[in-house]
Amino acid sequence: MNDKKNNVTLEEYENKFSYKKSKTNLNIEFNRIAFIFFLFLAISIIYSIQLLHLGSLKIKNENKLLSVKKNYRADIVDRNGNYLVKTVSSIDIGINPTEVIDKKKLLINLKLIFPNKDYIDISDKLKKKRYFYLEKKISADNYEKIMSLGDKSIKSEEKLTRIYPQKNLFSHIIGQIDDNNKGISGLEKSFNKRLKEKREPLQLTLDTDIQYLIREELVKFQSIFRSKGSTAILMNVNNGEILSMVSYPDFDLNKREVVNDLNFINRATKGVYELGSVFKTFTVAAGLEEGLIKTNTEFLNLEKKLKCGKNNISEYDNKIPSDLTVEQILIRSGNIGSVRIGQKLEIEKLKSFLQKIGILSKINFDIEEVGVPIPFKWGKCKLATVSFGHGITTTPLQLAKAYGIIVNGGFEIQPSVIKKNSENNQNQKRIIKKGVSEQINEILRKIVTTKEGTAGLANIEGYEVGGKTGTAEKATVGGYTRKAKVNTFVSIFPTSKPKYVMIVLLDEPKTSEDYIYKYKNKSGSYKGTPFNTAGWTSVEVAGKIIQKIGPILATKYKEN
Amino acid sequence: MLNFNSIYKFYYEWWKNLDKALFVIIMFLFSLGLFFSLVSTSLIVSDRLDTNNYFFFFKHFIYILIGIIILVFFSSLSEDNLFKISFYLFFTSLFFLFLIPFFGTEVNGSKRWLNLFFLPRFQPIEIVKPFIIVFIATILCSEKNFNIYFKYLLTFFAIIPACLLLMIQPDIGQTLLIFLAWATLVFISGISLPIILIFFSFTLISLVYMVFFISKFAYIKSRILSFFNPSDGTHNFQSDKAIDAISSGGFFGKGIGEGTLKNRVPEAHTDYIISVISEEFGVVAIVLLLILFLFFIYTVFKKIYLEKSEKIKLILTGTMCLIIFQALIHIGVNIRLFPTTGMTLPFLSYGGSSIVGVSILSGIILNLTKRKID
């Protein structure tokens, strides 16, 4: 027993001895093993930090996927919060046949998920070895299922879809985006950055209901007067907020078509027109502003015809008296009278007035599709023609702005479709003398109410409509054509304290033989359009529109 | 009677010398896996395969029973026998690995499984891993008076076949794991630091070359790229879902059975078990799990400190590193610190090969940490 014990100890010593020699050439140091441990410790600490970070992520943004953030595009709503544009992210599923491993198995699995697909076709596509889309805008359910297959050949592509619930209604203002989430026209272009960066929806000043009603009327009268196109703008004259802006023909944004036809331009902002008599208001207003005339200033012995250079200036209406007051010139839309006022003003004063109310230069607007008024050289004849609105061009939007300033008491406004949060109407800048507006408004009202006025058809009871018509022949190569006309009616209401200005412009309307007019200022009705002038077309359209939107405006926007 | 006596004696001997702390940790980890399998993951797989709700829990349970038998077997062997058996099993399992390119079964795009008629379907690499460590350690501790660098070269050649076979599967995660374990062994065996630096920079360059210029590994490239650019598209489907799951679980989880990830990600019960656990039990549970793993390695390393045999030191470090590296890679993939690789979490993930493999590893660890009878 004792012997055995001794033996063991001896062996042990031998062992120890042999280790010391270290035949293995190894040099295992414990500090290196410890180093490994601390390496793991460090990694664990990093992991814990990441884990805690992930755990705390929940509070900040629940249910918001990482992938959605980058591709975001804010919604657009109207002034009442109705969606005009909504972003929906959709996922397309494609298959790359070169990565398919087991074709049969894949087809069986796909059949389980999409039982109604044409599998002969899919099988053919798989053979062709070219990438193809299996399902576009896949449902969330099927997406989970198909991704759970874990097949490498199945590719998912997230796509951003803009949905336009109002279809055509706001096509020109909103504009289009390309496939890379980049705005290419309208607000989508000019507010591209804002829509991408901020999450809250972009609120517009437009009112969907009003826009709908106005468009409906334009579409209706488009078929009656067979015009090339038409546009209408409804703007609040006190703050420049545009409640409606329609340009017809329009297009359905949901279809994402490439629109090249020039007839589809935004007539309200991009269309540059010679607008005719509506400019007479400016001439009169300029005269009142400069104190050169009063509304009862008389102009005597007005000619019926005037020759300036090679152009003849004549009256539309030969029955017009030769002695007229300023008021009557505007009511009866006298050309020669306007020329006289213009001549009294002289070039500089008329020019600076038109400049002041924003007619002459390009307007700064929320969308980039804005027309540039055609520049011209002022001269004696130019002064004469400009006085009654010829030989000068501008956009309907600028016309609305100019009338807004003239009727709102003379305060500068900036037309906008973007709803501003703070209503700072207090520090408005006056640019036209006090009192001018009141005088003009009175005359504009008379244009609608009196027998001599050109806009009797717009005299809708209860809304105190005032306004000025404008019929301009379209300039063609080498002169004007009698047939192609631009008919404009600028209405303002209520004239006692104007709140709205509404432009209705019809591009080349024709007469209608069986449209029945109902007189407003006298009893009876009249069948068929006698002339394709603003008084018979645009005014009628504007009247119908005011009839429809009037109650909404009167109730909904009572306070502001 | 005699029979009973010998069983009792065997059991007594085994239990008496066992490192109880380690044994408890290992058993605890196994039972954690079973617990999660019972409460959360089992249902998914059953749902998908339309079987009895707890079918997979029972299957998992049976795997663990098999695992424990394997564990007891390996831990009760004498050291010499262990080395001998490991030597044979290394070559056998390597042979199976070698069969994969010819007879392998493909699951989800990778040929990693062997489905031989007399054996259930398994992943040979899980069996190769423990024995390759023993094999490397044996070479390194060879007492024939070789130059030490020649030994390193030999061990390198020992892992090359396994690595190559893994790469053609392709299974980069396991390749990386084996390579890391080998590098760790070389590192602790006392190689001089400059050589390590040179070697590592060389491998790094060749890895980058491989990933970016060899078409077979294009999938790694795309995974790495999508990993660094997480907002780019949705092709990183699993990883996105896993992160969402962890975030939605928050610190303390949604509660047992409330998770939704398990229904949405394929292989949630194996490759994404951490996310599943985290969604239901919170990130705190994962941090605790990390601490448990660290405690495990700490206990083993403490044992290594007292150990005299170089070979045992090497094997213990190597096996431990395999387990921890695998766990860290798994968690790293789940919390998006690593690109996606199909790697199970040792002890906890469902999967026969994985459980058997980790049982062998723990068996070896328990064997070598036994109290020495002098």
User: Where do the structural domains in chain A lie, given as residue ranges?
Assistant: 68-91+162-204, 210-556
- Say how many CA atoms lie within 13 Å of A360 toward its Cβ: 14
Query: Minimum mean pLDDT among A368-372, A390-394, B240-244: which range?
Result: B240-244
Average pLDDT over residues A66-94: 79
Q: What percent of chain A has pLDDT over 70?
A: 90
Q: Is the pLDDT at B232 greater than 70, yes or no? A: no
More confident residue, A78 or B3: A78
* A70–B contact, CB cutoff 8 A: yes
* A477–B contact, CB cutoff 8 A: no
- The pLDDT value recorded for residue B373 is 61
Q: Is the pLDDT at B48 greater than 60, yes or no? A: no
Q: Is the pLDDT at A126 greater than 80, yes or no? A: yes
Rounded Cα distance, A548 and A217, in Å = 9
- The pLDDT value recorded for residue A229 is 92
* B138–A contact, CB cutoff 8 A: no
pLDDT tens-digit profile of B9-47? 888 888 888 888 999 999 999 999 888 888 766 566 555
Query: How many cross-chain Cβ pairs, A to B, lie less than 8 Å apart?
Result: 150
Interface of A with B in 78-107 (CB under 8 A): 91, 101-102
- The pLDDT value recorded for residue B351 is 82
- The pLDDT value recorded for residue A117 is 82
- The pLDDT value recorded for residue A68 is 46
Distance from chain centroid for Cα A261: 18
Q: Which chain B residues have a beta carbon less than 8 Å from that of A196?
A: none
- The pLDDT value recorded for residue B17 is 85
3-state SS class at B256: coil
Tell me the pLDDT band of A23, cut-offs 50, 70 and 90: low
- The pLDDT value recorded for residue A529 is 86
Q: What percent of chain A has pLDDT over 90?
A: 42
Of the candidates B333, B183, B361, the residue with the CA atom closest to the CA atom of residue A36: B183
Average pLDDT over residues B306-318: 88
3-state SS class at A93: strand
Of the candidates A497, A415, A506, A503, the residue with the CA atom closest to the CA atom of residue A463: A497
- The pLDDT value recorded for residue A306 is 84
Q: Annotate A444-475 with b (16+ C-beta within 10 A) or e (fewer).
A: bbbbbbbeebbbbbbbbeebbbbbbbbbbbbb
Out of A43, A55, A147, closest to residue B237 by CB: A147
Q: What percent of chain B has pLDDT over 70?
A: 83
Which chain A residue's Cα is nearest to B222?
Answer: A152
Which chain B residue's Cα is nearest to A50?
Answer: B335
CB atoms A33 and B230 under 8 Å: no
Interface of B with A in 206-235 (CB under 8 A): 219, 230-231, 233-235
Average pLDDT over residues A18-23: 51
In Å, how far are A335, A472, A541, A555, B74 from B367, measured between CA atoms?
A: 114, 104, 98, 90, 7
Out of B188, B283, B290, closest to residue A44 by CB: B290
Q: Is the pLDDT at A190 greater than 70, yes or no? A: yes
- At the second CATH level, the architecture of A68-91+162-204 is Alpha-Beta Complex (3.90)
- The pLDDT value recorded for residue A62 is 41
* B278–A contact, CB cutoff 8 A: yes
CB atoms B188 and A28 under 8 Å: yes
Of the candidates B326, B206, B283, B268, the residue with the CA atom closest to the CA atom of residue B56: B268
Within 10 Å of residue A543's Cβ, how many Cβ atoms? 27
Q: Is the pLDDT at A12 greater than 80, yes or no? A: no
CB atoms A54 and B143 under 8 Å: no
Q: Is the pLDDT at B216 greater than 80, yes or no? A: no
Measured between CA atoms, how close is A165 to chain B, in angstroms?
27
CB atoms B374 and A47 under 8 Å: no
- The pLDDT value recorded for residue A469 is 93
Average pLDDT over residues A483-511: 92
pLDDT tens-digit profile of A159-185? 777 888 888 899 999 998 887 778 889
Out of B140, B147, B231, closest to residue A67 by CB: B231
- The pLDDT value recorded for residue B42 is 58
Tokens of A406: 């003239």
Out of A26, A47, A155, closest to residue B335 by CB: A47
- The pLDDT value recorded for residue A487 is 93
Rounded Cα distance, A259 and A265, in Å = 9
* B80–A contact, CB cutoff 8 A: no
Return the CATH number of the domain spanning residue range A210-556: 3.40.710.10
Interface of B with A in 309-348 (CB under 8 A): 310, 313-314, 317, 321, 324, 328, 331-332, 335-337
Rounded Cα distance, B223 and B203, in Å = 20
Of the candidates A47, A60, A146, A39, the residue with the CA atom closest to the CA atom of residue B278: A47
Measured between CA atoms, how close is A109 to chain B, in angstroms?
13
Out of A29, A55, A67, closest to residue B251 by CB: A55
More confident residue, B236 or B68: B68
Average pLDDT over residues B232-256: 72
Tokens of A418: 């973007």
Q: Which chain B residues have a beta carbon less than 8 Å from that of A145?
A: none
* B251–A contact, CB cutoff 8 A: yes
Which residues touch A227 (CB under 8 Å, ≥6 apart)? A221, A506, A507, A508, A509, A510, A537
- The pLDDT value recorded for residue A17 is 47
User: Can you name the residues that pair with A233 across neighbouring β-strands?
Assistant: A245, A503
Out of B148, B235, B314, closest to residue A156 by CB: B235
Tell me the pLDDT band of A67, cut-offs 50, 70 and 90: very low
- The pLDDT value recorded for residue B233 is 43
pLDDT tens-digit profile of B255-294? 776 766 666 666 677 788 888 888 888 888 999 999 999 9
- The pLDDT value recorded for residue A549 is 93
CB atoms A37 and B298 under 8 Å: yes
User: Which of A12, A26, A32 to mutate to probe the B interface, most B CBs <10 Å?
Assistant: A26
Note whether A448 and A459 are within 8 A (CB): yes
User: Which of A54, A57, A157 to mutate to probe the B interface, most B CBs <10 Å?
Assistant: A54
pLDDT tens-digit profile of B158-168? 888 888 888 88
CB atoms B244 and A65 under 8 Å: yes
* B79–A contact, CB cutoff 8 A: no
CB atoms B335 and A69 under 8 Å: no
Tell me the pLDDT band of B50, cut-offs 50, 70 and 90: low
Average pLDDT over residues A122-141: 82
Considering chain B, what is the average pLDDT of its residues?
A: 82
In Å, how far are A442, A444, A450 from A456, measured between CA atoms?
A: 15, 11, 7
Rounded Cα distance, A72 and A160, in Å = 8
pLDDT tens-digit profile of A445-489? 999 999 888 898 999 988 899 999 999 988 776 667 667 899 999
Out of A51, A69, A157, closest to residue B283 by CB: A51
pTM: 0.58
Q: Is the pLDDT at A269 greater than 90, yes or no? A: yes
Q: Is the pLDDT at A64 greater than 50, yes or no? A: no
Interface of B with A in 38-57 (CB under 8 A): none
Q: Which chain B residues have a beta carbon less than 8 Å from that of A106?
A: none
Note whether A186 and A174 are within 8 A (CB): yes
Rounded Cα distance, B247 and B265, in Å = 16
Tokens of A125: 């596509």
Considering chain A, what is the average pLDDT of its residues?
A: 85
Q: Which chain A residues have a beta carbon less than 8 Å from that of B264?
A: 144, 147-148
Out of B109, B235, B374, closest to residue A12 by CB: B374
CB atoms A25 and B147 under 8 Å: yes
